[in-house]
Amino acid sequence: MESEIRAADRRGALDVMPRTARVVARCVAVALPLIVLLPLTDLSCRRDTAPSNAEDPHTDPASDRRSARDARRNRILAAVPGADELARRIADCQRRIAADEHPIAELERLGQLFVVHARRAHDETYYAMARACADWLGELQPGHPGALLLRGHALHSMHAFREAEAVARELVAARGNGTDHGLLGDVLLDLGRPEEAEPHYRAMLAERPGLESYARAARLRWLGGDLEGATLLMERAVGAGSPRTATATAWAEAWLARYRLQAHALDDARHHADAALALQPNCAEALFVRGSVLLLQGDTARAADDALAAAEATRLPEHRWFAADTLRRADRDDEAHAQERLLEAEGWRTDPRHAALWLATRHPDRASDALQLAELEFASRQDVHTQDLVGYCHLRLGDLEAAAGWLTKAQRHGTPEPRFALHAAELAEAHGRSAEAARLAATAWPARGVLMPSERDRLTALRARD
């Protein structure tokens, strides 16, 4: 296998980014309420709060440290709901840690299990628990690479990107194995620096060719405009999976399904979505793809069931938006409204990028709120998806000049994102260039399955302008 990979790499088959394209990763960023922005006084320390320990001359620093350690220990050893294999493995680790004064290996193992659980449950609480494991491990053995890796993953997943970059760079300098390079590549990609991420992904691929490295390479290929190359690499990722990596394999299957849906290969997309759901029944991305395929094929009732299941699995705006649109097509209006209410109540916190996109798309009268979210998003990560979002918000506000500047930036790398073409078509329509709008809408038409149903409606209308 290694000789095959080296030969393929010499031919350029595993180039993770085309030389002519450098792109930026998609993002989800910081929290801000959707409609009423909190005043600064609500976000800052108040004078009527209890004084800090530093202000109290009777505070015992040693006692405070013991209290902090006890609180951290209690957090780490708190029971995790569930009776599946992952929950049992976590409970076993916790029992061994409780009986050991220096549980170095078990803390590292437990932290890794918390990261897996956080990704599966879409719950940031478990990233915080992984970070607590890293902190304890770092106290027991300062500079322990496992502690740095756990801390880096937790910070990255909790969107503390600058801190995560510092930890990842320290880790690469101290140990520098494939996993360490993969973490640093992930952080750099989310910071909008793919040209810096690429060599780290190459280092990971050279040392550890497998599911995780192939999947990262696929993502870079897609961002660089090569859907076919991304599909081939994601097929390799799926092929490298095993029963021991069921969660990761389900994720790879789901993204392969999405790539096939974007190519309008509906049977293939459905096949890979079903494969992902066989491994992880609540895999939201696979439910989205299967629901989209069913909707395109006219099976609205079953599409609505899948869309609702995806929303319940993640509670994220992207899936609540898809559920609301699909439920409405199935004449389940009350459930659709319920999803939109939840999206508005929670979206600013769980995924402000998609919350802003939903606001700008479905409620153009609130585009100024969407723009505020988008601009804060851009302050965190300057990627093409955020550039497109900021441009679209300006478009909905009627500032066509600003919209054109932002949308052009988003499109310059050739990322095959149909939403970019849709927004470009809407800009052309706003300028009165109907033929151009129709042409741009036609370029996005084959990939319409990855758009929200309400976006597809708009695409259909623009396509008919010519």
CA dihedral sign of residues 168, 111, 214, 306: negative
Contacts 24+ apart (CB under 8 A), 361-364: 361/392, 361/452, 361/454, 361/455, 362/321, 362/454, 364/396
Tokens of 159: 């969107």
Tokens of 70: 């006890």
Closest CA to 12 of 180, 226, 174, 166: 226
Each residue's pLDDT tens digit in the chain (466 positions)?
A: 444 444 444 334 344 444 333 333 333 333 333 323 222 222 222 223 333 344 455 556 666 667 777 788 888 899 888 888 889 999 999 999 999 888 999 999 999 999 988 888 878 889 999 999 999 999 999 999 999 999 999 999 888 888 999 999 999 999 999 999 999 999 998 888 888 999 999 999 999 899 999 999 999 999 999 999 999 999 999 999 998 889 899 999 999 999 999 999 999 999 999 999 999 999 999 999 999 999 999 999 999 999 999 999 999 999 999 999 999 999 999 999 999 999 999 999 889 999 999 999 999 999 999 999 999 989 888 888 999 999 999 999 999 999 999 999 999 889 999 999 999 999 999 999 999 999 999 999 999 999 999 999 999 999 997 6
* 50 and 368 Cβ atoms separated by less than 8 Å: no
Question: Integer distance in angstroms from the first to the last C-alpha of the chain?
Answer: 51
Identify the three-state secondary structure at position 237.
helix
Q: What is the DSSP string of 70-113?
A: HHHHHHHHSPPP--SHHHHHHHHHHHHHHT-SS-HHHHHHHHHH
CA distances in angstroms from 379 to 194, 256, 303, 371, 420, listed in the order given: 17, 31, 36, 12, 20
Q: How far is CA 367 from the centre of its chain?
A: 23
Question: Cα–Cα–Cα angle for 147, 150, 153, nearest 5°?
Answer: 145
Identify the three-state secondary structure at position 431.
coil
Q: What is the Cα–Cα distance from 443 to 160, expressed in whole angstroms? A: 37
Q: Output the CA torsion 423→426→427→428 (10° steps).
A: 120
The enclosing H or E element of 282 equals none
Please tell me the predicted confidence (pLDDT) of residue 73: 86
Tokens of 304: 């609505």
Identify the three-state secondary structure at position 246.
helix
| Sequence-ordered list of residues with C-beta below 8 angstroms from that of 121, at least 6 positions apart, any chain | none
Q: What is the DSSP string of 296-333?
A: HTT-HHHHHHHHHHHHHHH--HHHHHHHHHHHHHTT-H
* 321 and 343 Cβ atoms separated by less than 8 Å: yes
Identify the three-state secondary structure at position 60.
coil
CA dihedral sign of residues 39, 42, 45, 51: positive
Please tell me the predicted confidence (pLDDT) of residue 63: 66
H helix intervals, 122-160? 125-140, 145-157
Q: Which amino acid would we find at residue 139? A: E
Closest CA to 413 of 19, 125, 31: 19
Hey, what domains does the chain have and what are their CATH numbers? 209-297 (1.25.40.10)
Please tell me the predicted confidence (pLDDT) of residue 21: 39
Q: What is the Cα–Cα distance from 448 to 456, expressed in whole angstroms? A: 6
CA distances in angstroms from 464 to 185, 424, 457, listed in the order given: 42, 15, 11
Closest CA to 288 of 259, 256, 323: 323
* 380 and 406 Cβ atoms separated by less than 8 Å: no
Residue 63 exposed, middle or buried by CB count within 10 Å (0-12, 13-18, 19+): exposed
* 427 and 463 Cβ atoms separated by less than 8 Å: no
